[in-house]
Amino acid sequence: MVASKCFCYVRTDPDVPKHKGISVVIIDLDLPGVDVRPLRHLGGRAEFAEVFFTDVVVPRANLVGALNDGWRITMGSLAHERGALWVEGVMGAQRGIDDLVRLAHERGVSTDRVVRRRVAELAAQVRALRALGYKGFASFAQGSSAPEHSFMKLATSELRQEIFELGLDIQGADRAVLDPTVAAEGARWQKSWMTSLASTIGGGTSEVQRNVIATRVLGLPRD
């Protein structure tokens, strides 16, 4: 709702199947017929919007790349996005691990063997994903694709859910409390866990990511 322009993927050849016949255009959001409606979530904030187009005319000069070549542009854009998302995902997960350690000390469970094992397992996953992300960047630098990054988005988003869930478990009976005067750190862990559920949807759902990995990375047949 604050953008002045948007990318739009439109079908420009209805006679070819599936991903063929798609083009990318840039649309000025102040054109007649464009209606931007903010989407407010349960907390009252609006972070996304839905856009409606009614008889909007877009100049041919706004075409990005070649006509009907939108799918290739889309794949390149998504690859670039996912190539950067892992950095944010891994660094966020590492901050979560550091905060888990502090929370365990504050709650007096830092010597609990179960807690220590779970934190160690999550920390090991963070280190492994960081190394995998660097390997993907090395592939990019050598001019090849980086199938590692197809896995990174899936892995980091689900890992962060596990980290926040452990933060809830460490709080014991307070895990279900949203009262900031009772829950640890002003109910930060509760709110972060609920927000983390959206990370497995935004940027490509976990189900979509698994399909991509299965067909394009592992080479499994389509049904």
- Catalytic residue numbers, as ranges: 81
Tokens of 35: 């209606």
Instruction: Please work out, in degrees rounded to the nearest 5, the angle formed at the alpha carbon of residue 175 by the alpha carbons of 169 and 176.
Output: 140
From the CA atom positions of the chain, what is the Rg in Å?
A: 22
Task: Specify the DSSP element, H or E, that contains 6.
Answer: strand 5-11
Task: Report d(CA 59, CA 53) in Å as an integer.
Answer: 15
Which residues share a beta bridge with 6? 27
Residue 197: strand, helix, or coil: helix
